Amino acid sequence: MTPHSDPGLAEEFRARPCGPHSEPLKRLLERFRGVAVAHKHVLVELSHYGPWQAARLGATRNDPVELIAGAVFDRIEDAEWFVFKARWEQHFGQALQD
C-alpha cells in the first residue's frame, strides 16, 4: 500500500513526532526521507541538544546548506513538525496547518 495524504497521519506525527509511529506513518516517513537529496528539508543542530535550525540542502553534495530564516526551534518536536509540514506540502501539494 502506497502512503497517501491521509490527514490522520499528519495528526499522528504532530502528536508524537519522535514516535512510536504506526506502520502507515512509518511508510510515509520512509517515503519523505527517501527522496533525492537536492533541496531536501533538513534540521541543523546548532549546539548539543538544540536549538535546531530548519534548512534546505543544496542541489549537489558540494553546495552549501541554505538556512531558512526565522525557522529556529528550542524544542525538537517543533523542529520536526516544521520539516514534516514542508515535506508534506512538497509531496502532496497541500499545506498543513498548525
**What are the pLDDT digits (tens) for 45-85?**
999 999 999 999 999 989 999 999 999 999 999 999 999 99
Distances (CA, A) of 87 to 22, 46, 47, 48, 84: 18, 21, 24, 25, 5
Long-range contacts of 64-71 (CB under 8 A, 24+ apart): none
Measured from the Cβ of residue 71, the count of other Cβ atoms closer than 10 Å reads 17
In a domain, residue 28? The reply is yes
In a domain, residue 57? The reply is yes
Query: For the whole model, what pTM was predicted?
Result: 0.91
Q: Describe the strand order of the beta sheet including 66-73 as a list of residue ranges.
A: 41-45, 52-56, 66-73
Instruction: For residue 20, give the C-alpha cell.
Output: 512510536
Q: What is the pLDDT of residue 3?
A: 59
| Maximum alpha-carbon separation in the chain | 39
In a domain, residue 26? The reply is yes
How does pLDDT run across 3-24, given as a tens digit for each residue? 567 899 999 999 999 999 999 9
In a domain, residue 77? The reply is yes
pLDDT tier at 1, thresholds 50, 70, 90: very low
Q: Which domain holds residue 13?
A: 7-92
Structural domain total, the chain: 1
